[in-house]
Structure 1
Amino acid sequence: MTPPLFSASVPVFAHYLGQMEAMVERTKGREAILGARLAPDMFTAGQQIATAAGFALRVACPLAGQAVPADADHGMDRIGLLRRIVATRAALAALDPADFTGAEARMIRHRAGFAELHQDGATFLHLFGMPNFLFHASMAFAVLRAQGLEIGKADFDGLHDYPHGFRF
């Protein structure tokens, strides 16, 4: 049986990183929108994507009892973001599900902004890791959509299906 926190993390991260990869691909010819923000004090779309990718490893690796690998600087342009996503998905795929056995109780010490937290694995994933990953993925989607990239809910989750041009 696959450990529950593996199933609740690695496949979810990999899936949504794939969705972000497709959205970044769609910026070809409009790469400048990766530098756009929703508000002046928020991250750019590119930084939101990079941060989401970073969160995937920042969460999955400690759950597997491993150190988070150093974050290679691939750049914030379209090609760099695509390389970052591909590298992150490869690192996730290399994680052994067996290493997640007992992760629910594994104590993880980490930072959340300026706060120092010490959480069990289940709390770390469900109340910190996954919400932060999805926050940054959602913000990237919102910036790209606000900049006129034709994306919708189906592009975000890869599950919904709507007729072309349908929006709500």
Structure 2
Amino acid sequence: MYQASIPLLTHSLNNLLGILSKAESFAEQKKIASETLVNSRLAIDMLPLIKQVQIACDTAKGCGARLTGIDNPRFEDDEKTLSELKGRVEKTLTFLQKLEEQQFAGSEERAIQLNFPSITLNFNGRDYLTQFVLPNFYFHVTTAYAILRHVGVELGKLDYLGRVGA
């Protein structure tokens, strides 16, 4: 469970850091306020960049916490700039990097319940990871990438994929 979660999440979060760094450079070059970019969205009924990054981070740290049975650290949703969003990603990475593989032993059968305002979802650890965490995490990272690409940040597929292969 560790190998199917933490290395994947940390890889993509590191790529997200690079994407946000490119967005910072773009904002500086084009003299665009960072706040403008973090509030950009693909469609009027979609969440802005700031929420996409926050949810990706929350999904990743929630995965690590729930699968290991430890407290899920709470991050305030108070970021307003690209630099602050990068800080949130870095905090998430720091949390995930402290988790050890042996903490995940037996987590595939751990009971996990997610409570949302309109629904409660119940999973075992394996289904939580494969049916909720990974699809949700990648949706929000992809959407963050797409928002920044849409506003003109020069990003390519390798920015999203990061270092691949040997």
Same fold (TM over 0.5): yes
Cα distance in structure 2, aligned partners of 1:44 and 1:76: 12
| Amino acid corresponding to residue 4 of structure 2 in structure 1 | A
Q: Which residue of 2 aligns with 1:166?
A: none
Q: Which residue of 2 aligns with 1:164?
A: none
In the alignment, is residue 138 of structure 1 matched against residue 134 of structure 2? no
SS at match of 1:130: helix
TM-superposed CA distance for 1:62, in Å, is: 0.4
1:74-113 to 2 correspondences below 5 Å = 74-111=78-115
Q: Which residue of 2 aligns with 1:46?
A: 50
User: Which of residues 68, 73, 83 is equivalent to 2:72?
Assistant: 68
In the alignment, is residue 57 of structure 1 matched against residue 61 of structure 2? yes
4+ runs of 1 displaced by more than 4 Å?
Answer: none
Greater helix content: 2
Deviation string for 1:10-68 (max 9, x for gaps)? 11111100011111111222422221101112111121011101110111210011121
In the alignment, is residue 23 of structure 1 matched against residue 27 of structure 2? no
Quickly say closer, same or farther: Cα 1:76–1:68, change in 2 above 3 A. same
Number of equivalences: 157
Q: Percent identity?
A: 29
SS at match of 1:57: helix
Quickly say closer, same or farther: Cα 1:77–1:127, change in 2 above 3 A. same
Cα distance in structure 1, aligned partners of 2:19 and 2:50: 11
Q: Which residue of 2 aligns with 1:123?
A: 127
Give the superposed CA RMSD.
Answer: 1.6
Q: Which residue of 2 aligns with 1:165?
A: none
Cα distance in structure 2, aligned partners of 1:109 and 1:62: 9
Cα distance in structure 2, aligned partners of 1:160 and 1:57: 23
Quickly say closer, same or farther: Cα 1:160–1:104, change in 2 above 3 A. closer
In the alignment, is residue 8 of structure 1 matched against residue 12 of structure 2? no
Cα distance in structure 1, aligned partners of 2:78 and 2:93: 14
Deviation string for 1:67-89 (max 9, x for gaps)? 21111345131111011011000
Cα distance in structure 2, aligned partners of 1:15 and 1:112: 28
TM-superposed CA distance for 1:112, in Å, is: 5.2
Q: Which runs of 5+ in 1 are unaligned?
A: 162-168
| Amino acid corresponding to residue 61 of structure 1 in structure 2 | A
Moved more, 111-120 or 39-48: 111-120
